[in-house]
């Protein structure tokens, strides 16, 4: 991933860190038609966010320990 996208990954992780997000909300909010801007997929591949299924809620995206560390390291 290019340097230009790294701040977007950081923004995404910070957004998810505020509260776990429903998968559908993540897709709707961070959807892009540009194949070079796969922000939430990049964050997942790097281990900053995870997909979890919660009973009664469904699939959510939540920040991992590595994602929290990323935010602290970058002053967020």
Instruction: Report how many domains make up the chain.
Output: 1
Assigned domain for 14 exists: yes
Q: Given pLDDT bands bounded at 50, 70 and 90, which one contains residue 3? A: very low
- Mind listing the pLDDT tens digit for each residue in 25-65? 988 888 776 666 688 888 999 999 999 998 988 999 999 99
Predicted local distance difference test score (pLDDT) of residue 4: 43
Per DSSP, the three-state class of 33 is: coil
Domain extent, residue 53, equals 6-73
Assigned domain for 1 exists: no
Following CA atoms 27, 29, 30, 35 in sequence, which dihedral angle do they give, to the nearest 10 degrees? 80
CATH number at 57 reads 1.10.10.10
Over residues 12-35, the mean pLDDT reads: 87
Do residues 17 and 67 lie in contact, with contact meaning Cβ atoms separated by under 8 Å?
A: yes
pLDDT exceeds 60 at position 1? no
Do residues 46 and 63 lie in contact, with contact meaning Cβ atoms separated by under 8 Å?
A: no
CA distance linking residue 29 with residue 23, whole number of Å: 10
Predicted local distance difference test score (pLDDT) of residue 35: 67
């Amino acid at each position: 991933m290019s340097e230009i996208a790294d701040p977007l990954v950081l923004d995404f992780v910070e957004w998810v860190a505020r509260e776990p997000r429903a998968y559908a909300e993540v897709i709707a909010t961070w959807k892009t038609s540009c194949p070079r801007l796969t922000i939430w997929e990049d964050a997942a591949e790097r281990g900053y966010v995870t997909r979890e299924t919660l009973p009664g809620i469904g699939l959510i995206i939540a920040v991992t320990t590595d994602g929290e560390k990323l935010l602290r390291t970058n002053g967020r």
